Amino acid sequence: MSEFLVVTDAQGATLDDLVTMHKSLVVSGSKDIKWLVYGAVPDAVKHLQRRWSFRRVRVVATADEFKTSELVVFLNSGDGLYRESLVNVRETFRKNATADLIYGDSAHPTGIKAEPLSFVRRPGWSPERLRAHCYVGETLVVRADLVASAETITDLAVRHPHDRALRLTEVAKNIVRMPELLTMAKSQDTRPSASLTAVAEHCARQKIDATCELDAAVPSVRVKRKLTTEPSVAVIVPTRGTSAEVFGSERVLVVEAVRSLFEKSTYQNFEVVVVADTPTPQSVLDTLREIGGARLKIIDYDRPFNFAEKNNLGAMSCESDLILLLNDDTEIITSDALEIMVAMFNDPTVGVVGPMLLFEDSTIQSAGHIFSPDPTDLYRARSPEMAGPQNLLKVQREVSSLIAACALIRRDVFEQVGGLCMGFPGNWNDIDFCLKVQLAGYRAVFTP
C-alpha cells in the first residue's frame, strides 16, 4: 500500500507544467507517492511514465490506485507541493490521530525580485467561513477511506476547489490546520460564480434553509439563513440613565438604544429588560415605559457596579428562547440585524452570535476578538469598508470570543455555562463566557 496518492485534474495542462509539478513531488518528503494525472493527454502520461516516473513518484493514469493508498492529496494543475511538506503532513496526522482532513499554508510567486514569494497563513477550522470562501486553500490532504464516502475520486478531482472542499468537509469529522507551508501555488482559483453554485448546493445537501448571494467585490458568498420559526428574545440592557452628546445633541443613551429597537428592527418578537442602577433618573424610567409599554420591564439594581451580575439578573427575570446582551450606548444601524442573528440559531451548534460594532465616528469598535496573546478587538478604529486579511471583516466566521456590548445567546446555553462570571465585574466577562460556550461544544459566530 502506498503512503500518498496525489490527484491532479490535468485537463488542459501542458507537459512543462506537469514536469514542474513532478519535480515538486520528488522533494516533498515522501519516498512512496503515486500521482494520478487525470485527464492528461495520453502522450503526456506516457512521457511522464517513461522519463519522470522513478522510484519516489510513480505516475498513474487510472483511479484504481486509490484503493491501495492511505492518504489522498488534491493538487491543482500548475501548483506544487512545498519542499518537505509531506514530512509535516505525516507528523500532523501522527499528532492528530483522529484527523480526517488537513489543510495548510501556501506560498505564491510575486514576480518581484526583492520579495519573490508572498505567503498565505490560513486561520483555524471555521465551517461558517468556508461557506463564504475557500479559505482552506486548494490543496487538501484527506484519508483515503473518507474520500470514498464523499464522491468518486475522479469526480472530486475535476470539481471547483471550493466545491471539493465543501463536499469533503461535510463527511470529515476532524479537520486540522497544519501551521506549515503545504503548497507552492501559482494563483488562487477565485471564480465567484462557481463558488456561489458550490455553496448553494452545499446548503441544499446540508438542509440549510438560506439564500446565497454573491459579493463579487470581496469576492465571497453571503449565506443568509431564513427564519423558520420566531423564537422570543429578551434584550438585557444595563444602565444608569446616563446622558451624552451624540452627533451634536444631548441624548439619554438608554432611551435611544431602546427606541431604535422598537422603531428600526424588522424582528419584533422581543421584550426589553432594563437593569437600572438606583441613581437612574425617574424621568428616564418613565420615558422607557412609554416606549416599551408591556414589552418592557425594569429591574432595580442597588449594589456596587457589576456588569456580569446585572446581565445575569436580567436574563433570569424572563423566560425567552434567546438572550441579547446590549449596552445602553448602542443603536441599530441595519434594520434586519437582529433577524439575521436570530436565524443563525437554526443551527443547534451555534451558542452565541455577534455583529460588527461601530463607534460614533463609524469606525470599527469590534469585529470579534483575537488572542494575540491578550484578547484584542479585531481592527479597532479601522474603516468597516476594508475587507481585512482573507476578507475576515466581510464574512461570517467562528471567532475566539465576542464583545458583550451586543451578543445574542441561546438561553439553554447561557444557563448551561452559568451565565457571565461575576468574578469579572467589568472587563473579561464576555471573553470568559465565550470560552465556556466553546468548551461546552457550541460555536461563537461573528456576522458582519
Looking at residue 29, its amino acid is: G
Q: Is 407 exposed, middle or buried (0-12, 13-18, 19+ CB in 10 A)?
A: buried
- 305: Cβ–Cβ under 8 A, 6 or more apart, which residues? 277, 425, 426
Taking the C-alpha atoms of residue 314 and residue 280, their distance in angstroms, rounded to an integer, is 16
- As a whole number of Å, the end-to-end CA separation of the chain is 47
- Whether residue 428 has pLDDT greater than 80: yes
Q: What is the DSSP string of 389-424?
A: GGGTTTS-EE-SB--TTEEEEEHHHHHHTTSS-TT-
Q: What is the pLDDT of residues 135-168, one digit of tens each?
A: 999 999 999 988 888 888 888 889 999 999 999 9
What is the model's pLDDT at position 447? Answer: 95
Q: What is the pLDDT of residues 234-290, one digit of tens each?
A: 999 999 999 887 777 888 999 999 999 999 999 999 999 999 999 999 999 999 999
- Whether residue 57 has pLDDT greater than 90: no
Taking the C-alpha atoms of residue 140 and residue 131, their distance in angstroms, rounded to an integer, is 16
Phi, psi (5° rounding) for residue 372?
A: -140, 55
Q: In angstroms, what CA-CA distances link 249 with 254, 258, 259, 261, 403?
A: 15, 18, 16, 20, 27
- Whether residue 60 has pLDDT greater than 80: no
108 CB neighbour count, 10 Å cutoff: 16
43 CB neighbour count, 10 Å cutoff: 9
Taking the C-alpha atoms of residue 290 and residue 151, their distance in angstroms, rounded to an integer, is 60
Q: Are 429 and 308 in contact (CB under 8 A)?
A: yes
What is the model's pLDDT at position 65? Answer: 67
Q: Are 390 and 135 in contact (CB under 8 A)?
A: yes
Q: Which of 189, 139, 158, 150 is nearest to 39 (CA)?
A: 158
Q: Which of 368, 351, 365, 364 is nearest to 408 (CA)?
A: 351
422 CB neighbour count, 10 Å cutoff: 15
- Whether residue 54 has pLDDT greater than 70: no
Task: For the chain, give the mean pLDDT.
Answer: 91
What is the model's pLDDT at position 2? Answer: 59
Query: Helix (H, G, I), strand (E, B), or coil: what is residue 64?
Result: helix
Choose the CATH number for 233-447 among 3.40.50.970, 3.90.1300.10, 3.90.550.60, 1.20.1530.20: 3.90.550.60
Give strand pairing partners of 233. Answer: 270, 322
The confidence band for 16, taking pLDDT boundaries of 50, 70 and 90, is confident
Q: Are 184 and 24 in contact (CB under 8 A)?
A: yes
What is the model's pLDDT at position 225? Answer: 96
173 CB neighbour count, 10 Å cutoff: 10
Phi, psi (5° rounding) for residue 324?
A: -105, 115
What is the model's pLDDT at position 262? Answer: 97
Domain 2-214, what fold? Spore Coat Polysaccharide Biosynthesis Protein SpsA; Chain A (3.90.550)
- Whether residue 61 has pLDDT greater than 90: no
What is the model's pLDDT at position 129? Answer: 96
Q: Which of 213, 217, 235 is nearest to 226 (CA)?
A: 213
Q: Report the interhelical angle of 192-205 vs 161-171 (nearest 10°).
A: 20
Taking the C-alpha atoms of residue 331 and residue 406, their distance in angstroms, rounded to an integer, is 10
Give strand pairing partners of 252. Answer: 243
Q: Are 354 and 433 in contact (CB under 8 A)?
A: no
Q: What is the pLDDT of residues 181-219, one digit of tens each?
A: 999 988 666 667 889 999 999 999 999 999 999 987 788
The sign one gets for the Cα dihedral 335, 337, 338, 339 is: positive
Taking the C-alpha atoms of residue 206 and residue 218, their distance in angstroms, rounded to an integer, is 25
Q: What is the pLDDT of residues 99-140, one digit of tens each?
A: 999 999 999 988 888 898 889 999 999 999 999 999 999 999
Q: What is the pLDDT of residues 62-104, one digit of tens each?
A: 777 667 788 999 999 889 999 999 999 999 999 999 999 999 9
On the question of a common fold for 2-214 and 233-447, the answer reads yes
What is the model's pLDDT at position 110? Answer: 86
The confidence band for 390, taking pLDDT boundaries of 50, 70 and 90, is confident
**Which grid coordinates belong to 212?**
446565497
Q: Are 115 and 159 in contact (CB under 8 A)?
A: no
So where are the chain's domains?
2-214, 233-447
Instruction: Provide the whole-model pTM.
Output: 0.91
| Rounded CA Rg of the chain | 26
- pLDDT > 70 in the chain, percent: 97
